[in-house]
Structure 1
Amino acid sequence: MAHVRPAVERWVTWSGLIPLPAFLALHLAHELSWAFATEVSEVVRPAPTAFIRLTSFFLVWLPLAVHVALGCGRWVMGHAASAAPTGDVPAASRLVSRVTSLLSLAFLAYHGRTYSLTVWRGEAAAEDAGFRLLEELSSATSGVPLSGGLYLLGLLVTAAHAGLGVHRGLLLEGLLPTPGKRRLSARACALGSAISFCLGAAAVIRVASGVLLR
Structure 2
Amino acid sequence: METLGIWIAAIGTIAILSFLYKENPIYRTVEHIFVGVSAGIGLYWGYDSIRQNAWNPLFNPAEGESRQLLMLIPLILGILLYSRFMENYKWVSRIPLGFIIGIGSALAIRGVIGASFMDQIIATMRMPLWGTMVKFGFDSLLFVVGVIGTLIYFFFSTEQKGALKYGASIGKWTMMIAFGTAFGNTVMSRVSLLIGRVYFLLGEWLQII
- The structure showing larger relative contact order (alpha-carbon pairs under 8 Å, at least 6 residues apart) is 1
Structure 1 or 2, whichever has the larger Rg, is 2
Q: Indicate the TM-score class for this superposition, using the shorter chain for normalisation.
A: under 0.3
Return the TM-score normalized by structure 2.
0.26
In terms of fraction of residues, the more helix-rich structure is 2
